[in-house]
Structure 1
Amino acid sequence: MIPSHFTKTLLKTLNPKPIRFFHSSPSPSRIHKLISSQSDPLVAYEIFHLSSKTHPNFHHSYSTIQTLILKLPHSRHFSLMNSLLSSLKHDRRYTLTPSLFTHIIRIYGETNSPEKALKTFYTMLEFDVKPRPKQLNVILEILVSERRYLRPAFELFKSVNRYGVCPNVESYNILMRAFCLNGDLSVAYQLFGEMSKRDVMPNVESYRILMQGLCRKSQVNRAVELLEDMLNKGFVPDGLIYTTVLNSLCRKKKVVSDSDAGKKKLREVYKVLCRMKVKGCDLDIVHYNTVLEDMDANGCLPNLVSYQTLVGGLCSQGLYDEAKSYIDLMVSKGFSPHVSVWHVLVNGLCGVGKVDAACSVLEGDDGGSPKPNDFNT
């Protein structure tokens, strides 16, 4: 109930001359402007009702209703908002839109009211407003943000088809991420497999979520298999996917005591790195450098392509001195870099003002680097 002392203030707000106000109906646009300008939602609420009460034939615009509905919950006047919504349930003059409910759901999320957000889904159905995947996803995000609401979120997800709502890839990703973080990998895998049955195409994020979950559980071999599946289906992994898998492979390599197993793991790491280059991903030079050193130390000799890939990656990141060091190492091991490698290095050195160093490379007088003329062009 609105305190009665608001009335005089409200009448003055509505019209400085109350007599004129009662003799002529205010325009819907004016009432909307008045309600929008009120910082106190209770005053706005009273303006809304007074304008209708004093003029029975007056009808608020939909924009006024939406403004007031969204103004009330921001100040936690949820009961007033729900009362207003209920009064509109059988009013055929207004058709509530899904976007209005999206705003309401988000407000419930901001006020840490997941149960009310969930209830709003069913409120939409009461108003014959068909929820869309967008509303479903907002509710799911709010629910899974609290661990105790993960199962209710899953139950909602499983039931929405009966209401004509088709979850999209984002819906699946939200739940997969939540279950992975909760340690329920089996449920996440179940959701991943269900997508194809529902004609929902997984995206790069879907694979990333599952691979990160697997790597957190040290199931790196399954993560690599998933990476292969992803590549075979034509997806292009992002740098975060590769970094996740590489970090896990390198950690696993460190705890492997058996020499042969360690070498096998190194080859897997190297294979992933090569995949990165083939697919056009930014080369993870830190990992590549470490892997080459480990391969050498463990008797898995890197080849010419390995070194040239590393040199190219270092140059692309502006690390020309380091690149030059690896060229020297290549030569010392009997490899003959292609002229294109020298071309990249010389151009890079010149580009950063290291002309003397570039000349030294071309002249081959630095005691280590062969002359470019020694290579076929």
Structure 2
Amino acid sequence: MGTVEPYEASSGRRYRVRYRKPDRSQTTKRGFKTKRDADQFLATVEVSKLRGDWLDPTRSRVTIGEMAREWLASQLQLKQTTLSGYRHSLEKHVLPRWGKVRLADVAHGDVQAWVNALTKTLAPSTVRQILLALSGVLKYSIRDGRLLSNASDDIRLPRIKRERRGYLDHDQAFELARACGGYEDVILFLAYTGLRWGEMAALRVNCIDLPRRRVEVREAVAETRGQLVWGTPKSHERRSVPFPDFLVKPLQARSGGKQGEDLVFTTHEGAVLRGGNFRNRKFDPALKAVQAMEPDFPKITPHDLRHTAASLAVSAGANVKAVQRMLGHASAAMTLDVYADLFDDDLDAVAAALDLGAAANVVKMWSNDAA
């Protein structure tokens, strides 16, 4: 058991508590104004030691900034693009507010007030990403034995409003492709395979199987703070994706005279296709030109061509599992969650099929009743 002892300080009598840590080393906490306060502190120490959840107070005196560096260095499982996003959130939003704050001084209410302030100027998805970075640092601190609880848990976040997704039909996909002169095949490839931009831009000649009409998605490239970062596809999963027969000739033309490791889709100068540049210089002007002639033409981005691919596949009769494999989703449940609106017609089909199956019995039943 520990002991409580009085001592004289410049401000009057104070009390100190001497107690042993779980490793049997002795430590002291000073500054209690009353013996009762000291006794209560000692009691909580002994109870927490019995529970096995005692923490050395000195270990929670480090700052969020110090722990953020350790946390980032430990994230070996993350892709460079994801890691860069966390680093950006920390440097721009988390550390300016919390960098010099000690772990022990982070309070739930203060975190909520900070999130409320962020919500006034930032999009809901951005606020969530920023909080995720702070939460990661605090969770790491808990695992490192510096905290008992995470002050960022159960923070109320702004709702993310889902915009109505734009889908192109076949005619619209070809119309947009024609407007992107010189890159028609890029638009159609994205709209009919569902590859992400980075997967398309990283596609190599030896990943195309023309006889089987398949492409193997095994690599992706992303632009992070102006730098190209090469890595595996999202979720690190390779997949085989089918493409329609009309894309064979464009792919042959793109691959002609190239080596197996050469990129299929490049700029006219042979450089990597960067999504931001392509959108500003080709895609957005083409979309604007099409919309000038057709005001009802969907407002989309290059990434939305992936949604078009899902829509065209479903309308062609693909089931949710096939769409999942095509898009590289982690599960069919995820595909259903993202594209629930595309499968609404399936409910009508189910009702029609049930009606057809029961038709003979229904006729017999009503006939007997009439008799």
Q: Which has the larger radius of gyration?
A: 1
Q: Which has the larger share of strand?
A: 2
The one of the two structures with greater contact order (alpha-carbon pairs below 8 A, sep at least 6) is 2
TM-score (norm 2): 0.21
Q: Which has the larger share of helix?
A: 1
TM-score (norm 1): 0.21
